[in-house]
Structure 1
């Protein structure tokens, strides 16, 4: 006999989102998706039960301590069965650790998987899962773009002195070994503290080592400072690749870097041939909805934010008992789901608790004050056409 809707327990998908503080702009995609999908996720059907669903969120305030408190509130006050989050080198691990401590399932993204594993570890019995690309993927895509300008290069590394920079330069599992194995010589004077004040020492080191290409994981503001100081010294690089350049920055930094033609990684775009597992909508339709509602151009994290909610919904509908935390976490662990961000497969990831996201290469192009991220390399996803040739800086 079918169970009525009122007899089925209410379920809750919680989200920790940076709405204030320095990461607040990075919270925009997930905030939009929570509103966009709320009507579609008002109920979930599992077998003969139709569960009412609540989407609840808390502000991390871009701070690890507040992020942990947000998890506590979502579990205690909202009875969240699963929590999703994205963005923040320190904030994201804090959310995952708090979920592990609380014994509630967590899915996260937009953080290289080696960094996730390094800060937290993985293994059987955990409640926390992640999907992303790796540092090795970034290195392979960037090296392919460098090689459009010639087979081997001296590459200056503009990396910070925090966890991000430490992992990029790691001799065995970071960015450096993959790039070096392709014949490129990486040179680095050492890390810098964010926000940067001066790159004179870096520029001198790059000049002494004939680094005509620069690779970075800088913020837009720090990269703009570097580019401005490079111009003052007459040593602008032929190409800059930057792994943080995921969405075109607004304001002064954008204007200063227009002529640099920054190249970056691409993990999602309206041209990616994927559909939502919830309603079959396409990546192009999602980007259009975002632009219509916000007035802003699409940004890459949008697709991954949507996929977070897809995975959460899938886990709740496939768990043996969606009201039992261990059951929901185990459901994530056996998930193999086509999403609007591509196939997410935790059954065959690069390591336990991780699903892999492939990367291709993109470069920012300017057309009559309009900026668009164009595909310039597609080795890992040949089904996405190359849209433009890689161009060196003006």
Structure 2
């Protein structure tokens, strides 16, 4: 299938059923009778609010691109996006999803960023028979964390998730950690939540098999305030690599204490995920944020464009910085890619208002997005499409308008992405 999706005539292809989608046609609104309603749920505020900080800008761009309506398979539709803020509360996320389903009658749902948002929204949609597209959490925490069993058929019909998993983290970490000589002793802090439990069960054994010595003090509870025990263990073990998947406030508390107790001086690589993704995560760290290693599920240097808006990564990020005065974040492209997938799915169905028809085309969908191709035909399990994790590092800016530059240091999970910097030792 091919469809004209932007005023520039950008063409994209998918592997799903034949259909067509045209954006910004004057006839679309003239033909429209009922709108296509897209629900959108993310954490705009609360401890996970860094994930949602840029979502308003993305929604503005998507709404502007679709303001004149769309034509799908020869029929015109208005497009309405109904967005909600979870306030980082999982119970609220589920309730918001049920409200959008029952009161706003959405045709399809988007849930982005972390299990605390995505899993309760996905569960609500599955129970109600509403197609749901999600991204930005390890797929294992989405799939197995919601009751699927290894080796058994998928229990999900309406929910589809795309993005990174343990395999991508493993490949990126091994590639990244080989860039600096270390003793391969890795101190890990994985929380007692969906992300942490999935990572502990799958990633840590793979790292051990690859020759890394894993020092694990055990799961900690979100909101812990005293990390002296973990820091003491890491210091005594001589760890030179640190890896964690905390929420931002927890990491800020831990890393300040680690600096006070001298752990930061022996760490060569501080590799963090779930936090350290956005400039706002460093507000409480000051100089301690310099040379923290991170991982990008999207970056402005990704060489792809968005069919839903026609924007490439540079245009999206430059526009955000000009409009807000704030530094771009990787969530810009991640959120926009979800809309790219949704529009491809709606276009692939014979009737985009038919929820069963939309769900039926998802297993065969291949969609071009600003983050690359999302391919549900070749995922690790049904209902999942793999996505990249790229090794990155926050480095003190020498010339830019912002305190840190976010550089790409390795690209094992997507060689099309350019490497733009050299990994530096944290304590160098």
Segment of structure 1 superposing worse, 90-99 or 117-126: 117-126
SS at match of 2:83: strand
Aligned to 1:68: 94
2:168 aligned with 1:137, yes or no? Answer: yes
SS at match of 2:243: strand
TM-score w.r.t. the length of structure 2 is: 0.85
Greater length-normalized contact order (CA 8 Å, ≥ 6 residues apart): 2
2:406 aligned with 1:373, yes or no? Answer: yes
Aligned to 2:312: 282
Aligned to 1:175: 203
- Please give the residue correspondences for 1:164-313 in structure 2 after superposition, counting only pairs within 5 Å: 164-170=195-201, 174-236=202-264, 237-244=267-274, 245-250=276-281, 252-259=283-290, 261-313=291-343
In structure 1, distance between residues paired with 2:108 and 2:28: 23
Q: Compute the displacement of 1:250 (Å).
A: 4.9
The answer for unaligned runs of 5 or more in structure 2 is: 1-26
Q: How many residues align?
A: 389
In structure 1, distance between residues paired with 2:273 and 2:77: 41
Contact 1:65–1:94, Cα closer than 8 Å, also in 2: yes
Contact 1:81–1:328, Cα closer than 8 Å, also in 2: no
In structure 1, distance between residues paired with 2:187 and 2:163: 26
Q: Compute the displacement of 1:279 (Å).
A: 4.3
Instruction: Evaluate the alpha carbon distance shift between residue 374 and residue 65 of structure 1 in structure 2; reply closer, same or farther with a 3 A threshold.
Output: same
Q: Compute the displacement of 1:197 (Å).
A: 1.3
2:382 aligned with 1:356, yes or no? Answer: no
1:262-310 superposed Cα distances (whole Å, 9 cap, x missing partner)? 1011221111100111343211111111112222111111111001111
Aligned to 1:24: 49
2:85 aligned with 1:59, yes or no? Answer: yes
In structure 1, distance between residues paired with 2:97 and 2:385: 23
In structure 1, distance between residues paired with 2:386 and 2:426: 32
Instruction: Evaluate the alpha carbon distance shift between residue 226 and residue 10 of structure 1 in structure 2; reply closer, same or farther with a 3 A threshold.
Output: closer
Q: Compute the displacement of 1:222 (Å).
A: 2.8
Q: Compute the displacement of 1:142 (Å).
A: 1.7
1:331 equivalent among 361, 365, 370 = 361
2:124 aligned with 1:98, yes or no? Answer: yes
Segment of structure 1 superposing worse, 242-251 or 284-293: 242-251
Aligned to 1:110: 136
Q: Compute the displacement of 1:4 (Å).
A: 8.2
Structure 1 residue runs of 4 or more that deviate by more than 6 Å after TM superposition: none
SS at match of 1:149: coil
SS at match of 1:85: strand
Q: Compute the displacement of 1:103 (Å).
A: 0.8
Q: Compute the displacement of 1:123 (Å).
A: 2.3
Instruction: Evaluate the alpha carbon distance shift between residue 4 and residue 301 of structure 1 in structure 2; reply closer, same or farther with a 3 A threshold.
Output: closer
Contact 1:276–1:310, Cα closer than 8 Å, also in 2: yes
Q: Compute the displacement of 1:251 (Å).
A: 5.8
Instruction: Evaluate the alpha carbon distance shift between residue 221 and residue 77 of structure 1 in structure 2; reply closer, same or farther with a 3 A threshold.
Output: closer
Instruction: Evaluate the alpha carbon distance shift between residue 181 and residue 92 of structure 1 in structure 2; reply closer, same or farther with a 3 A threshold.
Output: same
Segment of structure 1 superposing worse, 180-189 or 156-165: 156-165
SS at match of 1:374: strand
The answer for unaligned runs of 5 or more in structure 1 is: none
Q: Compute the displacement of 1:346 (Å).
A: 0.8
Contact 1:307–1:341, Cα closer than 8 Å, also in 2: yes
TM-score w.r.t. the length of structure 1 is: 0.92
Segment of structure 1 superposing worse, 115-124 or 342-351: 115-124
1:146 equivalent among 159, 177, 185 = 177
In structure 2, distance between residues paired with 1:82 and 1:41: 16
Aligned to 1:385: 418
1:195-226 superposed Cα distances (whole Å, 9 cap, x missing partner)? 22122111221123221221111234333333
Q: Compute the displacement of 1:72 (Å).
A: 2.2
Q: Compute the displacement of 1:336 (Å).
A: 0.3
CA RMSD of aligned residues (A): 2.1
Q: Compute the displacement of 1:65 (Å).
A: 2.4
SS at match of 1:299: coil
2:106 equivalent among 52, 63, 80 = 80
Contact 2:189–2:244, Cα closer than 8 Å, also in 1: yes
1:122-167 superposed Cα distances (whole Å, 9 cap, x missing partner)? 7276101101101221122122222222275111112222232222
